[in-house]
Amino acid sequence: MHNYQNVVWHQATVSKERRHIMNGHGSVNLWFTGLSGSGKSTLAHAVEERLHRMGCRTFVFDGDNVRHGLCADLGFSPEERTENIRRIGEMVKLFLEGGVIALTAFISPLRSDRQRVRELIGPESFLEIYCRCPLSVCEERDVKGLYRRARAGKITNYTGISAPYEEPEYPDLQLDSSAESLEECVCQVILLLEKRGVIQK
């Protein structure tokens, strides 16, 4: 247990609310979850592109990119996956305070880990978007060749093959990324942001 008795949180004079006013939009976390190959990263970047063109301040946190830096010291055991998501949650919390729309594309297979992030940043700031895609379709795509290696036993603890994926029970938005076009999915995410008052129509 860390001792934080000599560490005091400094309250900035420039608040999140003031940043929202300056930006002309709110800050929220769009948490894209789903199996590898379900289209999370592709969708997150497409939504960011749309928002950027609308003049919004955004940033995409991609699972692979984060593991090259902030979480480069972590493997893929259940405990390390949980720590990976915890770090992401803390980072997202700071970006939301900065007035940014944070888009996160992580498999995040466990409901408990996703719930922890929801509690950390506040349920009103956490929009869970489930990219639902059959495992068979994800394996057909297999852009990185990881499913083939997992099936061959060359990768252990691989979600969907040798490790579980717990589907969201009550996602804020569920997309059928195997049947709906990328453009259709982007439009649904933008509509969700409008309904929640994060951006204006």
Active-site amino acid positions: 108
Place of tokens 């729309």: 101
Q: How remote is the C-alpha of 92 from its chain's centroid?
A: 9
* 154 vs 146: CA distance, rounded Å: 9
Can you tell me whether residue 180 is helix, strand or coil? Answer: coil
Phi, psi of 105 (to 5 degrees): -115, 95
Cβ-Cβ contacts under 8 Å for 70 (sequence gap 6 or more) = 87, 91
* 92 vs 28: CA distance, rounded Å: 9
Cβ-Cβ contacts under 8 Å for 146 (sequence gap 6 or more) = 36, 155, 158
CB 34 within 8 A of CB 107: yes
Cβ-Cβ contacts under 8 Å for 140 (sequence gap 6 or more) = none
Q: How remote is the C-alpha of 123 from its chain's centroid?
A: 14
